[in-house]
C-alpha cells in the first residue's frame, strides 16, 4: 500500500467533509510563514535522522518497529478531526471503532463479552488491572514473577499494594512450587502472569497458574503486553506445546493486557486492558460535570482511569485490523515470520563456534552470548558490550542489537561450564518482531559472528 497516496486521501477527505459546513474565516493568530515552516521542518527531519533505523532488519535490538502504513493513514485521517475517546461527546465515531477493535482483541484471546478499552500504554493498562485487583481483593497482595515487567512493582507502590516476587525456573518462567507456597499463606489476592517477558520472551504457564490460583481464591491477571498477539499462533506447529497451552489459557483469566503498539502494528499510544467480568465497571464509577451528555449509552471514559484518549489511535487500529484481521492468515502471518526467524537463528547460533544460545526462544526474542576464551561471565560481559557498541558504530554496515542483564545463577543454571566470576553479566538480545528479519537472517547472523570474532 502506497503511504503517500493514502495520506493525501486522508487530507482530501477531511477537507471535503469540512467543506460541507458553512464557510468561516481563518484566524491570523495561528498563521505561520511558509519559509519558516520549511526551515523548521528541515531541522526536524535532520534531527529525526539521529534515530536508530527501526524499520530496517539490521535493527535487531529492542521491541521497536514502525507502524503499518494502514495505521499511519488511519491515524492521520482521524487525527485531522482529533476526536477524544473519553466520551461519546468527544469521539462519537471513533468510540464505536474502539469498541469494535476491542471486541476483536477479546475474541483473539478467547474472552467472551468482556469489559475493555484501549489505553495510552501497557503500563496504564496494567495499572488499571492492578487497581481492579486491589478493589476486588482488599488488603491482599500481588504475586508477580521475578522476570515480570518492572512497572508492576512501581504501579503496586502507587496503589499501596504489597508485591511478592516469585522465583523463575531455568527458562525464565514463573516457578509453580514457589507460587504454590506463596498462595498457601492466603495473603495473595492476585497473581500476575506474563505471556512474553520483556527480556527473554518467556511465557508463564497460565494453564497451570489459573487452577492453582483458583484453589486459593486468588485472581489471575495476564500481562500479555508483548506476547498477546501470539494467541494467533497458539495452535500452530511453530509454537511449543506448553507455550500454546499457556496462550490458550489466557481465556480463563480475570484480566489481560495487550499492547497493539507492540505487535499490533500501531504507533505508540495504544495499549488495551480487558476484564472477563463486565461487572468490573462498578469500580470505575465516577461523576463528571462536563461530559457524558450526548448519550445514555455507557461512554468509554466511564470504564477507564484516563480522561482524554486519542480517537485517532482507535481509528488506526480499526483500519489495520480491517486489512490484517486477527487470524492466522491475517496478522498471524506477521508473527509467524518473526517466530520462524527466531527458531532458525537459534539453530544457527546452536551450531556456531563464536556464539552460544542463552535459552531456546519461546516467542520471537532470541538471547545469546559471545563464546569467550576462557568462558567466564566477566569476559562475556565485556564482549557483549563490545559487540553492541561496535555494531552500532560501524558507519558502513551497522547492526543494532540490545543487551540484557542476567544473574550469575541464572546463567550457570543454563550453562554450567561457564565460570561465575561476576554476580551478573550482560548477554545479547534481539527482538525479531519485523517479518523482514526472516529473509535477512543469514546476513544478520554473519554480521554478529564477525563482531563476536573481533571481540574475542
Ligand X SMILES: *Cc1c(COP(=O)(O)O)cnc(C)c1O
Kindly tell me which residue out of 69, 172, 271, 311 binds ligand X, with binding defined by CB under 6 A. Answer: 271
Decide if residue 225 touches ligand X (CB under 6 A): yes
**CA atoms of 201 and 214, how far apart (whole Å):** 26
Nearest Cα to Cα of residue 119 among 103, 133, 98, 100:
98
CB of 204 to ligand X, least distance (A): 10
In angstroms and rounded to an integer, the radius of gyration of the C-alpha atoms of the chain is 24
Decide if residue 194 touches ligand X (CB under 6 A): yes
Residue 264 and residue 277 in contact, taking contact as beta carbons nearer than 8 Å: no
Contacts with 419 (C-beta within 8 Å, 6 or more apart), sequence order:
374, 375, 376, 377
CB under 6 A: which stretch of 98-106, 117-125, 299-307, 420-428 binds ligand X?
Answer: 117-125
Three-state DSSP state, 444:
helix
Q: Grid coordinates standing for 253?
A: 483469566
CB of 121 or CB of 437, closer to ligand X: 121
Beta bridge partners of 257: 223, 273
Decide if residue 310 touches ligand X (CB under 6 A): no
Nearest Cα to Cα of residue 346 among 318, 366, 322:
366
CB under 6 A: which stretch of 218-226, 343-351, 377-385, 428-436 binds ligand X?
Answer: 218-226
CB of 74 or CB of 228, closer to ligand X: 228
Beta bridge partners of 428: 368, 403
CB of 225 to ligand X, least distance (A): 4
Decide if residue 198 touches ligand X (CB under 6 A): yes
CB of 239 or CB of 256, closer to ligand X: 256
Kindly tell me which residue out of 85, 94, 95, 121 binds ligand X, with binding defined by CB under 6 A. Answer: 121
CB under 6 A: which stretch of 222-230, 290-298, 307-315, 341-349 binds ligand X?
Answer: 222-230
The CA distances from residue 247 to 17, 93, 114, 244, 261, in Å, are 44, 33, 17, 5, 19
CB of 149 or CB of 299, closer to ligand X: 149
CB of 258 to ligand X, least distance (A): 10
CB of 84 or CB of 121, closer to ligand X: 121
Decide if residue 228 touches ligand X (CB under 6 A): no
| Number of residues engaging ligand X in binding (CB under 6 A) | 14
Decide if residue 437 touches ligand X (CB under 6 A): no
Nearest Cα to Cα of residue 204 among 239, 169, 180, 254:
169
CB of 194 to ligand X, least distance (A): 5
CB of 341 to ligand X, least distance (A): 19
Contacts with 266 (C-beta within 8 Å, 6 or more apart), sequence order:
67, 68, 71, 260, 313, 316, 317, 320
Position with the least CB separation from ligand X:
122
Burial label, 424 (beta-carbon count in 10 A; 0-12, 13-18, 19+): middle
CB of 225 or CB of 380, closer to ligand X: 225
Kindly tell me which residue out of 65, 117, 134, 149 binds ligand X, with binding defined by CB under 6 A. Answer: 149
**CA atoms of 103 and 98, how far apart (whole Å):** 9
CB of 52 to ligand X, least distance (A): 17
Decide if residue 123 touches ligand X (CB under 6 A): yes
CB of 259 or CB of 364, closer to ligand X: 259
CB of 77 or CB of 225, closer to ligand X: 225
Contacts with 81 (C-beta within 8 Å, 6 or more apart), sequence order:
14, 93, 311, 312
Residue 411 and residue 418 in contact, taking contact as beta carbons nearer than 8 Å: yes
CB under 6 A: which stretch of 16-24, 69-77, 118-126, 368-376 binds ligand X?
Answer: 118-126
CB of 222 or CB of 234, closer to ligand X: 222
Three-state DSSP state, 427:
strand
CB of 79 or CB of 199, closer to ligand X: 199
Residue 119 and residue 267 in contact, taking contact as beta carbons nearer than 8 Å: no
Decide if residue 207 touches ligand X (CB under 6 A): no
Binding site for ligand X (CB under 6 A): 121-123, 126, 149, 151, 194, 196, 198, 223, 225-226, 259, 271
Amino acid at each position: 500500500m502506497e503511504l503517500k497516496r493514502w495520506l493525501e486521501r486522508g487530507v482530501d477527505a477531511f477537507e471535503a467533509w469540512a467543506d460541507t459546513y458553512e464557510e468561516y474565516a481563518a484566524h491570523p493568530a495561528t498563521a505561520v510563514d511558509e519559509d519558516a515552516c520549511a526551515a523548521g521542518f528541515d531541522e526536524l527531519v535532520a534531527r529525526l535522522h539521529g534515530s536508530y533505523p527501526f524499520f530496517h532488519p539490521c535493527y535487531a535490538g529492542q521491541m521497536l518497529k514502525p507502524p503499518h502504513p494502514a495505521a499511519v493513514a488511519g491515524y492521520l485521517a482521524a487525527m485531522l478531526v482529533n476526536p477524544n475517546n473519553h466520551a461519546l461527546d468527544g469521539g462519537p465515531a471513533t468510540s464505536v471503532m474502539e469498541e469494535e477493535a476491542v471486541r476483536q482483541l477479546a475474541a483473539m484471546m478467547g474472552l467472551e463479552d468482556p469489559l475493555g478499552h484501549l489505553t495510552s500504554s501497557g503500563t496504564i493498562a496494567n495499572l488499571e488491572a492492578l487497581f481492579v485487583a486491589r478493589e476486588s481483593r482488599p488488603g491482599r497482595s500481588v504475586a508477580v514473577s521475578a522476570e515480570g515487567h518492572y512497572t508492576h512493582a512501581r504501579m503496586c507502590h502507587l496503589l499501596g499494594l504489597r508485591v511478592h516476587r516469585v522465583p523463575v525456573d531455568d527458562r525464565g518462567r514463573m516457578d509453580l512450587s514457589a507460587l504454590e507456597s506463596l498462595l498457601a499463606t492466603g495473603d495473595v489476592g492476585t497473581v500476575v502472569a506474563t505471556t512474553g517477558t520483556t527480556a527473554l520472551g518467556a511465557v508463564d504457564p497460565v494453564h497451570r497458574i489459573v487452577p492453582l490460583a483458583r484453589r486459593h481464591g486468588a485472581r489471575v491477571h495476564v500481562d500479555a503486553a508483548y506476547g498477546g498477539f501470539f494467541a494467533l499462533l497458539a495452535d500452530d506447529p511453530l509454537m511449543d506445546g506448553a507455550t500454546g497451552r499457556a496462550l490458550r489459557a489466557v481465556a480463563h483469566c480475570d484480566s489481560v493486557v495487550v499492547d497493539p503498539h507492540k505487535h499490533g502494528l500501531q504507533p505508540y499510544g495504544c495499549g488495551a486492558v480487558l476484564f472477563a467480568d463486565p461487572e468490573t465497571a462498578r469500580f470505575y464509577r465516577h461523576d463528571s460535570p462536563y461530559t457524558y451528555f450526548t448519550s445514555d449509552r455507557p461512554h468509554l471514559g466511564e470504564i477507564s482511569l484516563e480522561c482524554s484518549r486519542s480517537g485517532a489511535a482507535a481509528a488506526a487500529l480499526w483500519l489495520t485490523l480491517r486489512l490484517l484481521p486477527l487470524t492466522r492468515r491475517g496478522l498471524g502471518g506477521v508473527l509467524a515470520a518473526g517466530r520462524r526467524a527466531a527458531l532458525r537463528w537459534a539453530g544457527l547460533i546452536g551450531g556456531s563456534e563464536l556464539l552460544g544460545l542463552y535459552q531456546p526462544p519461546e516467542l520471537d526474542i532470541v538471547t545469546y552470548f559471545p563464546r569467550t576464551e576462557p568462558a567466564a561471565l566477566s569476559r562475556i560481559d565485556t564482549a557483549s558490550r563490545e559487540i553492541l557498541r561496535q555494531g552500532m558504530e560501524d558507519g558502513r554496515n551497522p547492526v543494532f542489537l540490545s543487551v540484557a542483564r542476567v544473574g550469575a545463577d541464572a546463567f550457570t543454571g543454563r550453562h554450567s561450564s561457564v565460570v561465575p566470576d561476576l554476580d551478573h553479566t550482560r548477554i545479547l538480545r534481539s527482538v525479531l518482531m519485523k517479518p523482514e528479519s526472516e529473509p535477512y537472517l543469514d546476513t544478520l547472523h554473519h554480521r554478529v559472528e564477525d563482531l563476536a570474532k573481533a571481540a574475542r
